[in-house]
Amino acid sequence: MKKSLYETDEAIIQGIRRNDDRALAYLYKLHFPMISHFILSNSGTDDEAKDIYQEGVIVFYEKIKDNSLELSCQIKTYLYSVCRRLWLKRLAEKGRFANRIDDSEEFQTLEEDVQKHEENERQFGVMADALGQIGEPCRSLLEDYYIRMQNMQDITDKFGYTNTDTAKNQKYKCLQRLKKLFFAAYKPEV
């Protein structure tokens, strides 16, 4: 059933655009063995395979969401190329230069996509750090409000503030700290 639904690349892309989690699940399961094999046969571990593959899928997923995907090849090739690039970088970071990569697939150079992804990653890393540093309940408060988009009243109730104004004030203070931390570490490369 699943198979017939997402048989073509186009169907998968449409599915992801519709926020259909089954499309994502199908895609994810379909190509993991390929990447896993690639990583494992180029001195990687299972966990690294999972990591790299998820990053690859994220790049692909976000490009679809952005509507900036110009797929000039199969999804399979795209994923393989992205993961290959990512893994080479990872190897370089580890100080292990792969002088010879065993490829089982065709691949393309997708420098731009990968670079953009890395920029995002850096931002997220900084954000995660900053969020970690502001501590609770600031973190939850901000996440609830800005990420989970809960309304102020619910948040007031949840955190046991006396009224929404207190909550807003608290949120403001938290945001101020986050901002400081975030911009201290993050300089956008423009």
Binding footprint of another protein on the chain (CB under 8 A): 21, 24-25, 28-29, 32-34, 37, 41, 50, 54, 57-58, 61, 102-105, 120, 123-124, 126-128, 131, 142-143, 146-148, 168-169, 172, 175-176, 178-179, 182-183, 186, 188
Q: Locate tokens 């900084």: which residue?
A: 126
- The residue (of 54 and 108) whose beta carbon lies closer to another protein is 54
Q: Per this entry, what is the length of the chain?
A: 190
- The residue (of 95 and 181) whose beta carbon lies closer to another protein is 181
User: What's the Cα-to-Cα distance from 134 to each of 122, 156, 175, rounded to whole Å?
Assistant: 19, 19, 9
- The residue (of 95 and 159) whose beta carbon lies closer to another protein is 159
CB of residue 30 vs another protein: minimum separation in angstroms?
Answer: 10
- The residue (of 95 and 148) whose beta carbon lies closer to another protein is 148
CB of residue 148 vs another protein: minimum separation in angstroms?
Answer: 7
- The residue (of 24 and 155) whose beta carbon lies closer to another protein is 24
CB of residue 121 vs another protein: minimum separation in angstroms?
Answer: 9
Cα–Cα dist 153/150, whole Å: 8
CA angle 115, 66, 74 (to 5 degrees): 75
User: What's the Cα-to-Cα distance from 99 to each of 21, 42, 91, 92, rounded to whole Å?
Assistant: 38, 10, 10, 11
Q: Which helix (H) or strand (E) holds 76?
A: helix 75-93
CB of residue 182 vs another protein: minimum separation in angstroms?
Answer: 6
CB of residue 109 vs another protein: minimum separation in angstroms?
Answer: 18
Question: Between the CA atoms of 66, 91, 94 and 61, what dihedral angle is there, to the nearest 10 degrees?
Answer: 20
